[in-house]
Amino acid sequence: MQCIKKYSMIQRFHADLKGFKQSLADNYKIKSARICLNLQNLREIFFFSRRFKKIKADIADNYKNKSA
């Protein structure tokens, strides 16, 4: 019984390790794709993030006005 329990723990650990390796590989692909972005894309992302922050602030202000 103890032997079976240890074997299943090892199998679970192996599955977790495979999942971790896969997520690491996916993360690396994302990071390498980010590095390949050209300056135009970075500028668009920068402007979008500024717009997104403004939209979030507007929503927060709107929520405060409605709750008051």
Residue 9, pLDDT above cutoff 60? yes
Tell me, yes or no, whether 44 and 24 share the same domain.
no
Tell me, yes or no, whether 47 and 60 share the same domain.
yes
Note the pLDDT of residue 40: 64
Tell me, yes or no, whether 51 and 67 share the same domain.
yes
- Tell me which residue range forms the domain holding 31: 1-36
Tell me, yes or no, whether 30 and 2 share the same domain.
yes
**Segment 16-32 mean pLDDT:** 75
* Exposed e or buried b per residue across 3-36, where buried means at least 16 C-beta atoms within 10 angstroms of its C-beta: eeeeeeeeeeeeeeeeeeeeeeeeeeeeeeeeee
Structure tokens at 40: 């135009």
Tell me, yes or no, whether 31 and 58 share the same domain.
no
Note the pLDDT of residue 1: 59
Tell me, yes or no, whether 1 and 28 share the same domain.
yes
Note the pLDDT of residue 41: 67
Question: Is the pTM for the entire model greater than 0.75?
Answer: no
Tell me, yes or no, whether 25 and 4 share the same domain.
yes
Q: How many domains does the chain have?
A: 2
**Segment 36-53 mean pLDDT:** 70
Average pLDDT, the chain: 72
